[in-house]
Amino acid sequence: MTIHSRVRRALAASSIGLAVAAGGLASASTAQAYDTGHTTVSCKAVKVRKDPSKNSTVVGIAYRHDKVAYNQFAYKRAEKTWYTRGAVTRKSDGKKIRGYMIYNCANPYESNPAPKPSIPK
């Protein structure tokens, strides 16, 4: 095998690797936008937390019929609980609170209880 053919093979392999990496980055950004949507709080009140955990810091409280713009769902394996991440706009004072809420209170189906996503493996 000559040096010229080795260089050509290395160049072809690196360009294929770059194309695969770029394709993965492009698909990851579009997957996040897929989950964006709007709903309302269906519980009487729900704590909005900094992280998806029952022990996380509470950043505010949302009440029934407050608007939620959600963009992600998270499953906390240790708690066996689903969370919805998004921004709540309160009807009472117009304040915007960003964080995680229990999924049953802020779900895209606007019902309680909600059909939950399948548990990740």
Which domain range does residue 56 map to? Answer: 37-105
Asked whether residue 76 is domain-assigned, the answer is yes
Provide the domain count of the chain.
Answer: 2
Asked whether residue 116 is domain-assigned, the answer is no
Asked whether residue 120 is domain-assigned, the answer is no
CA dihedral 58, 59, 61, 66 (to 10 degrees): -140
| Region 3-30 average pLDDT | 51
More confident residue, 17 or 21: 17
One-letter identity of residue 37: G
Claim to verify: residue 60 and residue 97 sit in the same structural domain: yes
How large is the C-alpha radius of gyration of the chain? Answer: 22
Claim to verify: residue 15 and residue 66 sit in the same structural domain: no
In percent, the amount of the chain with pLDDT more than 70 equals 62
Q: Is the pLDDT of residue 113 over 70?
A: no
Claim to verify: residue 43 and residue 73 sit in the same structural domain: yes
Please state, rounded to an integer, the average pLDDT across all residues of the chain: 76
50-69, pLDDT tens digit by residue?
999 999 999 999 999 999 99
Q: Is the pLDDT of residue 109 over 60?
A: yes
Residue 34 banded pLDDT, cuts 50, 70, 90: very low
86-99, pLDDT tens digit by residue?
999 999 999 999 99
Claim to verify: residue 26 and residue 73 sit in the same structural domain: no
Q: What is the pTM of this model?
A: 0.64
Claim to verify: residue 27 and residue 41 sit in the same structural domain: no
